[in-house]
Structure 1
Amino acid sequence: MLEGGTKVISGSIAFSPDGATLVSASADRFGGTRGTVMLWDIESGKDLATLHGHTERIPDVAFSPDGTAIASALRDGTVKLWNVKTGENIHTYRGGGYSVAFSSDAKTLAAAGWRDIKLWEVATRKNISTIPIRGERINDLAFSPDSQVLAWGTGDQVKLRKHATKSLFGFMGRNTITLKGHTDEVQSVAFSPDGKVLASSVRAGTVKLWDTETGANITTLEGGGGPVMFSPDGRILASRGNVQEIKLWDLETQTDIMTLRGKAGAVFDLAFSPDGAILVSGEGFGTIKFWDVATGENIDILEGHTGIVFSVAFSPDGKTLASGSQDGTVLLWDLKRAADR
């Protein structure tokens, strides 16, 4: 068990690309306004470093794909960049505050705030683009696997923006397009592993699939919402259904293949195992459930938290699961040992 003193897990958790380190975002107390970023050694479970300097709550943290840096978003409208080896605050960017994402080539950092999205070149720390946002705040943003497209949800719309001027949208050569069709606030966006499809979901009700080349709405999947995630092979999409349900869709046939029903509480986060065989859900009342993707069977329940499980994440090798909870702890689970119980 990884305990951050009296800290409460307030944002995301993420493994380093090599699976050796975990980063977590915490608040000083439930509903607290001061945040802390902590680094953990997976093998020993020890606290490697506490990254100080945050005067506000931290909604999001992200590892760079090369594993050398961490970005943390603060509610005060700044983003901090940290050196993983030394714990040094390399730079503080002005802008953002709600969500951060690195491009897959680790060259660009994007951050969403109330009024705009800012993009910085990581090597030079220069602002390379500022995208004004009018109206609703941004709940989620994501880069495509090839780093060429940035997607985000704002209000009831989804937007796609291309960075490469040689490959723009449509014959008019636009670099940004707006995808319309949702009737509620967009909560989550995710690219398929091949980057050809974008999924967007609202709090409850629908998930939409979009063609990332044309912006066309491929289909609307009824009954989904909340967190949305593609399986590693891109064949299955998972999202929350009703409060205590998880929906799985076959993307080739665009049909609902099963509904996973639990009794413990609402679903707050989802994660596929690296081989795509298992789906894990972080739920209310401190429970973590393991689902067989092929059969829909609930094959295991892990109990150890005493509060809502906000975040779940598999290590890259699939041997360890990390879970972050409202109770102020991050738990690391040895999945082989759990399976042998």
Structure 2
Amino acid sequence: MKPPLLALALGVAIIPGLAHAQAEEIDAGIESPGNQVFLVRNDRGVMQYDTRTTNPGSGPNDLSRTNLGPYMPQLTASFSYGGVKYLFLRTGQYVGLDANSENVVQRLSYIDNNNWPGLAPYGNKIEAALRFKGSTILFFLSDGQYIEYDMAQRNIAFGPIAMNAITLPSLQNVAGQITGAARWDNNRAVIFLRGQRHMWFNFRGVNASGLPTPNFGSQFAQPQVFAGGYQGGYQAPPVPQYQPPVPQPQWQQPQVWQPQAQRPQWQQPPVQQPQFQQPVGSPGTINRLTNKLNYTADTQTLAMRPDSHRIATGGWDNTLSIWDSSGQTLVHAVAISLQGRGDLLLDTAFSPNGQRIVTGSRQTGNTAEVTVNVWDASTGSQALILQGAPTGFCQSVAYDPQGLRIAAGCFSQTTGNAMVRVWDANNGAQLFQINGVDGPVTFSPDGNLLASASGATQEINIYNSRTSQLLQTLQGNAVSGIKKAVFTPDGTHLVTGNFNGTVTVWSIPTGQIVSSFSGHAGPVNDIAINRNVTRIASAGEDGRLILWDSSTGRQLSSYNGPKPLRNVLFNPDGDVVLTGGDENIIRIFAD
């Protein structure tokens, strides 16, 4: 029997005949070729799944007589990479098996700096493992932290760091409760929790979808009876003090796709009409997809110059691309590599005059890198040095509407501290720092107010943007954390996109919630408001783009995409909507 790969399809499907079965705790998932996955229970029974369906195959099975047998009693985590199944044991050891034959190709050894550089101090803390993007492996630790390990470079790329609303959104409340994990396909996995529960995990959004779900009554409801238990105590095979590492071709020739920082091919096919001219259609609806533009990387950020003649995009390719959109065809005008300034572009914003652009990115591993930078939007050269510019995880940046100040919301990967910093946009001098909040950050239209929140809280603070004085705190008990915030053009209201899938409109004068719209099945990643405040657009983790009537909360129209959407914006006239996300496509809609 060949153990398979673990992860799960979205949604919960009831398995016929198992509605009353009692589920066991899941300790590990083993992925194998042939669209199979094995879930290892705490009684060492193993359930076999076909990843092409939501139905389980045979099981519970006994793998004690297979090549996996000697390792099953102490197995705590597993993943496959480069044709090798890696099994991690509670004893702080690991073994590598050929993915097809299951013959040992890397002998049982302790996790040390010879075979897993940097991972040795955490070998006894590993609770689960997932093959993530490219050559990255996620190790979930028993203390609630996690590590991103780069198999190609053979080192820790990121962490160990706590799971929170910035690093792993939606998993912060289950930190320390993870018992196992398994990859299902290229887009998602399943995380198993204590108490016979599970959560879906989106690779592209790097977050969990929804709340923990009981295994009972789901596709993970499994028969309790298992007659193949192990007899006697487990005796681990003897381990020598040092095992010379076996050559590992997967580190020389990774077989998993890695994002390549290449020039996006947006020139073909050409745009058939000026995308920002007034088209004919029914006002108030997204009724025409005017263009679909292929992009080379998951789009984490999308911005438009105030005159709409330039568009900026970026994401997992760690390159800021600026496109000329003034003619019939989008032309790639400037490409700015962020090499040495992070490994993921998270947010960007044009200055009001369109001459500069500020970026926020994520630090690469434990190497200190400046992750808030200001660029010349025409040449791509660095335009301004920000005093005391932060390192770490900077997910939100903003220019004030007068172009006088720059704000960034950041999170330190080493200290765990959250902070918002504000600089003079002309000379780069730091004006002040606000501790305890990390974004999203946004300025009011007159530039006098600065709003910021922490993604883990259900409140957002309003500050004097010149003095940092806290003026107001907006509190709501039904938002489950705030992902995005935007002032209305008249400055009287603040609109937020929330982790629980709602869009909330807050009154600035009263501090009260005016209205709340529900329509997304997961976090609202971005929102936009048109110039005359008649419509709100929201982009969600569920792949939906929704256009709302801002006064009634009625859904005017929607688009259902196959993968999470990260960004949405209106053009200045409000008759065109752009959105991007994990599908590597920028879509342009028009009324």
- Give the TM-score of the pair, scaled to structure 1: 0.71
The corresponding residue for 2:431 is: 176
The corresponding residue for 1:316 is: 572
Superposed CA offset, 1:298-326 (max 9, x none): 23342442333333222322223333354
Distance 2:576 2:321 in 1: 28
Map of 1:2-17 to 2, 5 A cutoff?
Answer: none
Aligned counterpart for 1:276 among listed residues 521, 533, 546: 533
Map of 1:1-341 to 2, 5 A cutoff?
Answer: 33-34=259-260, 36=264, 38=266, 41=271, 43=273, 45=290, 59-66=300-307, 69-73=310-314, 79-80=320-321, 87=331, 90=334, 92=336, 96=341, 98=345, 99-113=347-361, 114=363, 115-116=369-370, 117-122=372-377, 125-134=381-390, 136-155=392-411, 156-164=418-426, 175-182=430-437, 186-205=438-457, 206-223=459-476, 224=479, 225-262=482-519, 264-295=521-552, 297-327=553-583, 329-335=585-591
The corresponding residue for 1:25 is: none
Native 8 Å contact 1:96 1:112 kept in 2 = no
| CA pair 140-237 structure 1, distance change in 2 beyond 3 A | same
Native 8 Å contact 1:33 1:57 kept in 2 = no
Q: CA deviation at 1:196?
A: 1.0
Q: CA deviation at 1:110?
A: 2.3
In structure 2, the gaps of 5 or more residues are 1-186, 188-203, 206-255, 275-289, 364-368, 412-417
Q: CA deviation at 1:237?
A: 0.6
Distance 1:37 1:146 in 2: 34
Q: Which moved more, 1:102-111 or 1:36-45?
A: 36-45
What is the identity percentage for the equivalent residue pairs of Structure 1 and Structure 2? 21
| CA pair 318-157 structure 1, distance change in 2 beyond 3 A | same
The structure where strand makes up a greater share of residues is: 1
Native 8 Å contact 1:282 1:288 kept in 2 = yes
Superposed CA offset, 1:116-139 (max 9, x none): 223244567354314444553111
| CA pair 175-133 structure 1, distance change in 2 beyond 3 A | closer
Secondary structure in 1 matching 2:331: coil
* Paired AA for residue 464 in structure 2: D
Larger Rg: 2
Native 8 Å contact 1:107 1:122 kept in 2 = yes
Distance 1:248 1:151 in 2: 23
Superposed CA offset, 1:248-279 (max 9, x none): 11112222222223364432221212211222
Q: CA deviation at 1:282?
A: 2.0
In structure 1, the gaps of 5 or more residues are 1-7, 12-29, 169-173, 336-341
Native 8 Å contact 1:305 1:325 kept in 2 = no
Q: CA deviation at 1:33?
A: 1.4
Distance 2:498 2:334 in 1: 41
Q: CA deviation at 1:329?
A: 4.7
* Paired AA for residue 87 in structure 1: V
* Paired AA for residue 266 in structure 2: M
Q: How many residue pairs were aligned?
A: 294
Native 8 Å contact 1:311 1:323 kept in 2 = yes
| CA pair 318-129 structure 1, distance change in 2 beyond 3 A | same
Secondary structure in 1 matching 2:515: strand
Native 8 Å contact 2:302 2:567 kept in 1 = no
Q: CA deviation at 1:141?
A: 0.6
| CA pair 75-197 structure 1, distance change in 2 beyond 3 A | same
Q: CA deviation at 1:202?
A: 2.2
Superposed CA offset, 1:272-305 (max 9, x none): 122112222223444333333223x323342442
Superposed CA offset, 1:24-73 (max 9, x none): xxxxxx9961363636737373578x78xx7x766434444455555454
Distance 1:235 1:152 in 2: 23
Distance 1:112 1:197 in 2: 21
Distance 1:287 1:252 in 2: 32
Q: CA deviation at 1:75?
A: 5.2
Q: Which moved more, 1:298-307 or 1:231-240?
A: 298-307
Distance 2:317 2:388 in 1: 18
Native 8 Å contact 2:520 2:540 kept in 1 = no
Q: Which moved more, 1:321-330 or 1:112-121?
A: 321-330
